[in-house]
Chain A
Amino acid sequence: MEAQPAVRVQAPAVPEPREGQSVARLELKMAARDVNLWYGEKQALFGVSLDMFDSSVTALIGPSGCGKSTFLRCLDRMNDVIDGCRVEGDIRLDGEDIYAPRVDPVQLRARVGMVFQKPNPFPKSIFENVAYGPRIHGLCKTKAEYADVVEKSLTRAGLWDEVKDRLDESGTGLSGGQQQRLCIARAISVNPEVLLMDEPCSALDPIATAKIETLMDELKKNLCIVIVTHSMQQAARVSQRTAFFHLGKLVEVDETSKIFTNPTDQRTQDYVTGRFG
């Protein structure tokens, strides 16, 4: 059993300091300890421990079927809706166990938002798509408040200028990249503290991908972002820390620059240099 070496709460320095961003230590947002997960009889995650920090992007990479998406879905308890799925271990958000009996997954998911691989806007208007979260959580009272939240969220998602004149049109009529940004706007409309992104760009063309990556850079200023990606370039571009998963185990986690230039584990080395996966 591998110990949890690099993971211990030593926050790494940010690789390249940017303007407006403190070089100081990042705050720990979510911490997973020794997470095991079973689908029925089949174990999919083996003792995964990972820290995710505020105001930074953590990338999960690894070959298909390695459990990175499964792990991501543990973080907002989306695995709860799957029959026969069982999770063991300890996952904390701001030090609070999210699998504790007193935690309602419904409330948790308002704090931990999620963006999926395939853009999945509801077959409603653009406005209603973004207002969905505030409506079910009762965040706004007046129409003006809703309009305000919708505008702010769309602006943060970089979509406002493109759709401000057609908020009544169906969200499904947008292009793929726009749909994905609409889904991001929808996810951040309830002011989550953590944003989980499950291969958000794998269905998009390079231009739309570039837009989303720029957006992530912007969003991470006041969010903890965890992204699953198959593109190592993307992980290198957007993330500060990278975790490498293999066969349901967390092999290595470190600063992104270190993972890609000087990984400790041979398997990580092989994967990032394209020798397998």
Chain B
Amino acid sequence: MLGYVLLLITVLAVASYFFGRKRAAAVVGGRQQELHSRPSYHGAYVAAWVGLPSAFLVLIWLLLQGPVIDNLLLWSLPPGTVDGLTSGQISLLLSEIKSVAAGNVFSEPSLAVQDAAARYHSWQIIARWAMAAVALSIALLGLFFASRRISPEFRARHGAEHILSGLMIACSLIAILTTLGIVLSLLIEALRFFDRIPALEFFFGLNWEPQIPIREGQVTGGGAFGAIPVFTGTLLIALIAMAVATPIGLYSAIYLTEYAHPKVRAVIKPVLELLAGIPTVVYGFFAVLTVAPAMRQFGDMIGVPIAPNSALAAGGVMGIMIIPFISSLSDDAIAAVPRAMRDGSYAMGATKGETITKVLLPAALPGIMGGILLAVSRAIGETMIVVMAAGIIASLTANPLEPVTTVTVQIVTLLIGDTEFDNPKTLAAFALGLVLFLVTLALNVLALHIVRKYREQYE
């Protein structure tokens, strides 16, 4: 039904486009230059009035239909049925009614439920037809209204362009609203967590043992929610990753822009960027199966004990993963420095090295910084590699040879297995997520700000 209605609206809108176009041409007897706007703008204007309000109405209708019918159902139940039920039980009752209405009867439903199911069924049908009727009449009203406005003086182009820009605003709003929704849901759950665990303990506590019993008789840790070791672990791994990625990325960018032959550059650059296309799971395998054992063997050789899931292995592999972020953005930034800067420096008697360090890198610094900050936020938010290669136990250490855990790893481990969304263990994941989100958001904003502020400074 919904599909048919939308299809009908679309067909109507397309038809009214042609109708409007023809009508506009007819109004001036085919002498187009007498029209303020071209016929196709008139057509688009009419089509927009036919299609958009009715489609919008369908959307609103769909959003409201469910809750309205649910409430009506609860009203129509025999008095006293819902008294004293919790919201969870009520929604259980409603879904029972709906599954009976859909014909999925598992046990013997009560008479009241059967009645309600029948009512639900018929109301649904009524609602569908009503929606179709209302949508169609709105579409026809739009057609009537818009086609009456067609005249030589009518500024249809402005109207159509306004509608179009409105649509574009709506599209960009979707992204913003989604972000807002994510933030809100994180925030609300995090606040629930802070109801149970004081924020002071979370942010400054040194002990992280979140696996508290959910069922009775579970053997678990004591339950402590001091997130400092998790944060320092994240920091340590991100630091190792950046220590690997920054010099390698930067030097390869300098090589590619300043030293490499164009043919070499044409091969190496895409290959480097290919690194960014490798799924992070594969990097995880690489870290666990290749890098970590190799490091351990090397450690045995020189007599240094290296944990199998050391921060070094995870951070190092993560560093390899984010090389392309730095190299690619730095490469673009250096290549964007005008030839005139290089000429100016060479003409002063500067060597290539001096030109690069004293002129090109400072001029490209905003782009390079932007790349590095994006890479940092990527490193902090990266999940798969650390889930596979880093540790799970939160330990407060700065030794890269020991296992540490990260925010993302903890979120994953908190949300798998037994979960209950009333429990500090599960809610802690949201608090961690909120912190992670805020940090990466701040880094991204900072990166964008730097890039924007200093962009094209040399022009």
Per-residue interface assignment for chain A, residues 101 to 145, with 1 indicating a CB less than 8 Å from any chain B CB and 0 otherwise: 000001111100110101011111000000011011100000000
B459 within 8 A of A: yes
B348 within 8 A of A: yes
B340's partner among A78, A108, A116, A124 (CB-CB below 8 A) is A116
CA of A108 to CA of B341 in the docked complex: distance in angstroms? 19
A76 proximity list for chain B (CB < 8 A): 347
What's the tally of chain A residues with a CB closer than 8 Å to chain B?
Answer: 28
B341 proximity list for chain A (CB < 8 A): 120, 122-123
A107's partner among B342, B349, B359 (CB-CB below 8 A) is B349
| Given known contacts A170-B457, A172-B458, A120 and B340 CB-to-CB distance under 8 angstroms | yes
Identify which of B341, B342, B343, B459 gathers the most chain A CB atoms within 10 Å of its CB: B343
B30 within 8 A of A: no
B459 proximity list for chain A (CB < 8 A): 172
B350 within 8 A of A: yes
Give the segment of A26-34, A52-60, A183-191, A265-273 that binds chain B. Answer: A183-191
Q: Which residue of A lies closest to B359 (CB)?
A: A122
A114's partner among B347, B350, B362, B363 (CB-CB below 8 A) is B347
B247 within 8 A of A: no
Inter-subunit contact B457/A120 (CB<8 Å)? no
**Which range holds the interface residue count of chain B?**
20 to 34
A137's partner among B346, B349, B457 (CB-CB below 8 A) is B349
Q: Which residue of A lies closest to B363 (CB)?
A: A123
Inter-subunit contact B348/A186 (CB<8 Å)? yes
Q: Which residue of A lies closest to B459 (CB)?
A: A172
Q: Which residue of A lies closest to B360 (CB)?
A: A122
For chain A residues 73-121, which have a beta carbon within 8 Å of chain B? 76, 78, 81, 106-110, 113-114, 116, 118, 120-121
A109's partner among B340, B342, B349, B363 (CB-CB below 8 A) is B349
B348 proximity list for chain A (CB < 8 A): 109-110, 113, 132-133, 136, 186-187, 190
Q: Which residue of B lies closest to A192 (CB)?
A: B349
What is the distance, in angstroms, from A110's C-beta to the closest C-beta of chain B? 4
CA of A121 to CA of B359 in the docked complex: distance in angstroms? 10
| Given known contacts A78-B343, A136-B354, A136-B358, A120 and B338 CB-to-CB distance under 8 angstroms | yes
CA of A123 to CA of B333 in the docked complex: distance in angstroms? 14
Per-residue interface assignment for chain A, residues 166 to 208, with 1 indicating a CB less than 8 Å from any chain B CB and 0 otherwise: 0000101000000000010011001000000000000000000
CA of A86 to CA of B347 in the docked complex: distance in angstroms? 19
B345 within 8 A of A: yes
B344 within 8 A of A: yes
Identify which of B345, B346, B351, B354 gathers the most chain A CB atoms within 10 Å of its CB: B346
Q: Which residue of A lies closest to B350 (CB)?
A: A136
A137 proximity list for chain B (CB < 8 A): 349
Q: Which residue of A lies closest to B346 (CB)?
A: A81
Inter-subunit contact B349/A136 (CB<8 Å)? yes
A132 proximity list for chain B (CB < 8 A): 345, 348, 350, 358
For chain B residues 93-135, which have a beta carbon within 8 Å of chain A? none
B362 proximity list for chain A (CB < 8 A): 122-124
Q: Which residue of A lies closest to B355 (CB)?
A: A136
B344 proximity list for chain A (CB < 8 A): 116, 120-122, 183, 186
B345's partner among A110, A118, A122 (CB-CB below 8 A) is A122
For chain B residues 308-350, which have a beta carbon within 8 Å of chain A? 338, 340-350
Where the two chains meet, the residues of A that have a C-beta atom closer than 8 Å to any C-beta of B are 76, 78, 81, 106-110, 113-114, 116, 118, 120-124, 132-133, 135-137, 170, 172, 183, 186-187, 190
The 23 sampled A-B contact pairs (Cβ below 8 Å) are: A76-B347, A78-B346, A107-B349, A109-B349, A114-B343, A120-B341, A120-B344, A121-B344, A122-B344, A122-B345, A122-B458, A123-B341, A123-B363, A124-B362, A132-B345, A132-B350, A132-B358, A136-B354, A136-B358, A170-B457, A172-B457, A172-B459, A187-B347
Given contacts A76-B347, A110-B349, 16 further A-B contacts (CB under 8 A): A78-B343, A106-B351, A108-B349, A110-B348, A114-B343, A114-B347, A116-B347, A122-B362, A123-B363, A124-B362, A132-B345, A132-B350, A133-B348, A136-B350, A170-B457, A187-B348
